Amino acid sequence: MKKISKKFIASSIMALASTTAIAAPTILFKDLNNQSKQFAHAAAPKAITNFLQTAETKYPNTSKIIVYKNENHYLIYLLSSKTWEAKKIRLDSDADGKLNNIVYNYTGGINDLNLTNKNTKSNDIQPGVCPDESVQFLAISAYPGVAKVNEAIAIVSEAAKKQFKTMTILDENADGKTYFNWLSCPNLKGVYSIGHGAPDEMLVGNGDVVSYKFFNQPEMKNKYKNTTVIFNACQVYNYPMGTNVMYGNALQESEYAENPGPNTFEYMGGHVNLLMQVSELSSACFMAKAIEGAKMDYDTLQQCVGDKDFHAKNFGLSNPGLYFNKG
For residue 312, give the amino acid letter. Answer: A
Residue 59 lies in a domain: yes
Q: Are residues 208 and 101 in the same domain?
A: no
143-159 mean pLDDT: 97
For residue 173, give the amino acid letter. Answer: N
Q: For residue 206, give every residue at least 6 positions away whose Cβ sits within 8 Å of its Cβ, in sequence order, or none.
A: 28, 142, 172, 173, 175, 176
Q: Are residues 142 and 109 in the same domain?
A: no
108-120 mean pLDDT: 67
Q: Are residues 145 and 53 in the same domain?
A: no
Q: Closest Cα partner for 200 from 295, 73, 108?
A: 108
CA gap 31, 195 in Å, rounded: 22
Q: Closest Cα partner for 93 from 77, 111, 116?
A: 116
Q: Are residues 45 and 105 in the same domain?
A: yes
Name the region of 294 (left: φ>0; alpha: ψ -120 to 50; beta: rest). Answer: beta
β-partners of residue 138 are: 167, 191
Residue 48 lies in a domain: yes
Q: Are residues 28 and 67 in the same domain?
A: yes
Q: Are residues 202 and 267 in the same domain?
A: yes
Pairing of strands 62-70, 209-211: unpaired
Q: Are residues 217 and 90 in the same domain?
A: no
Q: How does pLDDT run across 188-214, given as a tens digit for each residue?
A: 999 999 999 999 999 999 999 999 999
Q: Are residues 106 and 141 in the same domain?
A: no
Q: Whole-number mean pLDDT of the chain? A: 88
- Helix (H) / strand (E) element for 30: namely strand 26-31
225-252 mean pLDDT: 92
Q: For residue 7, give every residue at least 6 positions away whose Cβ sits within 8 Å of its Cβ, in sequence order, or none.
A: none
Residue 220 lies in a domain: yes
The whole domain housing 313 covers 137-323
- pLDDT on residue 40: 63
65-89 mean pLDDT: 95
- pLDDT on residue 145: 95
Q: Are residues 95 and 198 in the same domain?
A: no
Residue 13 lies in a domain: no
Residue 266 lies in a domain: yes
User: Which of 55, 84, 116 represents a domain boundary (last residue)?
Assistant: 116
Q: For residue 318, give every residue at least 6 positions away whose Cβ sits within 8 Å of its Cβ, in sequence order, or none.
A: 246, 264, 266, 267, 268
Say which residue, 12 or 49, is predicted with more confidence.
Answer: 49
117-122 mean pLDDT: 47
- pLDDT on residue 16: 40
Q: For residue 51, give every residue at least 6 positions away whose Cβ sits within 8 Å of its Cβ, in sequence order, or none.
A: 76, 91, 99, 102
Instruction: pLDDT band for 22, please (50, 70, 90 cuts).
Output: low
Angle made by CA atoms 145, 281, 135, in degrees to the nearest 5: 80
* Count: domains in the chain: 2
Q: Are residues 91 and 149 in the same domain?
A: no
Residue 175 lies in a domain: yes
Buried b / exposed e along 142-166 (16+ C-beta atoms within 10 A)? bbeebbbbbebbebbbebbeeebeb
Q: How does pLDDT run across 11-21, given as a tens digit for each residue?
A: 443 444 433 44
- pLDDT on residue 35: 55
Highest-scoring range by mean pLDDT, 23-37, 104-118, 177-191: 177-191
Instruction: pLDDT band for 115, please (50, 70, 90 cuts).
Output: low
Q: 3-state DSSP: the chain helix, strand, coil percent, rounded to 5?
A: 35, 25, 45
**pTM of the full structure:** 0.88
Residue 174 lies in a domain: yes
Tell me: pLDDT of 122 over 90: no
Here the CATH number for the domain that contains residue 292 is 3.40.50.1460
Residue 128 lies in a domain: no
Q: Are residues 168 and 266 in the same domain?
A: yes
Q: Are residues 90 and 159 in the same domain?
A: no
CA gap 50, 29 in Å, rounded: 15
User: Is the bond preceding 218 in cis, omega lying within 30 degrees of 0?
Assistant: no
- pLDDT on residue 176: 96
Highest-scoring range by mean pLDDT, 9-13, 27-31, 245-249, 293-297: 293-297
